[in-house]
Amino acid sequence: MKVIKRDGRLQDFNLSKIKTSISRASDDAGQPLNIADIDNLAEDIWDSIEKYQKDPIAFNIIHEIVLGELEKWGFSLVAKYYNQGKLE
């Protein structure tokens, strides 16, 4: 699967980048998630991305999916910090 980046480039989808971003956001939020939580979140994120059935898929759609899954799992503060990372 390919991702359309902000600058229009195509890049291979990499779930480990999302996991790293979630981990960093959780650390920044002062609510570090354990590996099992991050892996379970990543699995749900991947399932949601696959259900979207777009290839290539735009980065902002992936971003919204990640935010939605974080909220669904009750990690609202982590979602806030994840979203702030997009702006930096």
Give Cβ neighbours of residue 40 (< 8 Å, ≥ 6 apart): none
* Polymer length of the chain: 88
Report domain extents, the chain.
2-87
**What is the rounded CA–CA span in Å between residue 60 and residue 63?**
5
Span 22-75, pLDDT tens digits = 999 999 999 999 999 999 999 999 999 999 888 999 999 999 999 999 999 999
- At 20 the pLDDT is 96
Prediction pTM value: 0.89
- At 71 the pLDDT is 97
Coil vs helix vs strand at 57:
strand
- At 87 the pLDDT is 44
Q: Where are the alpha helices (DSSP H) in 3-75?
A: 15-28, 35-52, 59-72
User: Token pair 């806030």 is at which residue?
Assistant: 80
